[in-house]
Amino acid sequence: MSDKKTAIVTGGSRGIGRAICLRLAKEGINLVINYAGNHEAAQDTKTACEQLGASVVLVQGDVSRAEDCEALFSAAAERFGRVDIVVNNAGITRDNLIIRMSEEDFDRVIEVNLKGVWNMLKLAARAMMKQRYGRIINLTSVVGVTGNAGQSNYAASKAGVIGMTKSLARELASRGVTVNAVAPGYIDTDMTASLSDEVKAMVKNNIPMGRTGRAEEVAALVGFLAGDQAGYITGQVVHVDGGMVM
Ligand code: NAP
């Protein structure tokens, strides 16, 4: 058992998830870090968080599988005795124009990005309602608000995350549990690295600040929403996008 707060972060091995883990570790929060399969990256994030003083449990699992999500909550209960913060960050893309997109690619993105968040929310709600405290932060995207050619599956999943965030915020508001969504714009991670130079240039032209974002800039907001000072903020979608969507 620990007096420190405990957070579960999905997709914490790389990119934005890794930056969120480091941010929470700096604030003295214990971590259960989930990842899909990249053991090396996950171990590296764990070591970096431990160097900041956090206790860390790594749990490999697929958030689209309910039993894998249950394993995250069991790990938190066994090692730390509590869950105060849940960050639903794991996400994938399988981009294509709708006329070329396979049903499999549509289904997989919905399974991971939408059903995966729902699996986690169900468990988080159960744990947090009882203790009458909790902070839930879901990663959505500007694309869930604006749509994007070639991302009908991803946009649908991220718009769905916004709808679930607002619904659960209403369900849990009287129980001391806040539920918010963070909508990054274009952030430099592995997810965006594979875009063509042409698409990258086009995206950059649409960012009023004229630059792409850093994972740490998203993590800073997640860190705030996860803290006690954010106790009167719920059901919100906060953009970290250099002004892309106003
Ligand atoms: P990323 O660099 O591709 O990292 C994805 C992370 O999710 C990895 O830790 C990966 O684990 C994990 N993951 C993938 N599928 C999973 C599954 N089924 N179950 C559990 N974990 C899984 O992505 P990112 O750019 O940091 O994005 C993080 C979140 O922000 C996503 O929800 C994304 O949609 C959202 N977002 C990103 C941007 C952007 O510009 N980058 C913009 C808007 C929103 P492994 O390392 O083991 O593969």
Q: With contact defined as beta carbons under 8 Å apart, do 103 and 111 qualify?
A: no
| Range 226-236 average pLDDT | 98
Q: Is residue 119 lining ligand 1, measured as CB closer than 6 Å?
A: no
Q: How distant, in Å, are the alpha carbons of 85, 125, 230, 232 from that of 154?
A: 25, 25, 28, 30
Q: Is residue 106 lining ligand 1, measured as CB closer than 6 Å?
A: no
Going from the Cα of 8 to the center of ligand 1, the distance in angstroms, rounded, reads: 15
Quick: pLDDT tens for 90-138: 999 999 999 999 999 999 999 999 999 999 999 999 999 999 999 999 9
User: Which residues span the domain enclosing 62?
Assistant: 6-240
Going from the Cα of 199 to the center of ligand 1, the distance in angstroms, rounded, reads: 20
User: How far is residue 86's CA from residue 46's CA, in Å, rounded to a whole number?
Assistant: 17
Q: Is residue 30 lining ligand 1, measured as CB closer than 6 Å?
A: no
CA dihedral (226, 160, 74, 59) positive or negative: negative
Q: How distant, in Å, are the alpha carbons of 91, 145, 217 from that of 185?
A: 14, 11, 11
Mean pLDDT score of the chain, rounded to an integer? 97
Q: Tell me if 221 is assigned to some domain.
A: yes
Domains contained in the chain, number: 1
| Range 9-33 average pLDDT | 98
Going from the Cα of 174 to the center of ligand 1, the distance in angstroms, rounded, reads: 31
Question: What's at 22, amino acid-wise?
Answer: L
Beta 56-60 vs 85-88: how paired, if at all? Answer: unpaired
Q: Tell me if 76 is assigned to some domain.
A: yes
Quick: pLDDT tens for 148-194: 999 999 999 999 999 999 999 999 999 999 999 999 999 999 999 98
Q: Tell me if 58 is assigned to some domain.
A: yes
Q: Tell me if 1 is assigned to some domain.
A: no
Q: Tell me if 246 is assigned to some domain.
A: no
Going from the Cα of 61 to the center of ligand 1, the distance in angstroms, rounded, reads: 13
Q: Tell me if 72 is assigned to some domain.
A: yes
User: How far is residue 143's CA from residue 148's CA, in Å, rounded to a whole number?
Assistant: 6
Of all protein residues, whose CA lies closest to atom 46 belonging to ligand 1?
A: 38
Q: Tell me if 245 is assigned to some domain.
A: no
Q: Tell me if 199 is assigned to some domain.
A: yes
Beta 177-184 vs 237-240: how paired, if at all? Answer: parallel
CATH number for position 177: 3.40.50.720
Other Cβ atoms within 10 Å of 130 Cβ, number:
10
Q: Which of 35, 154, 186, 232 is catalytic?
A: 154
% of the chain exceeding 90 in pLDDT: 94
Q: Known catalytic residue: 154? A: yes
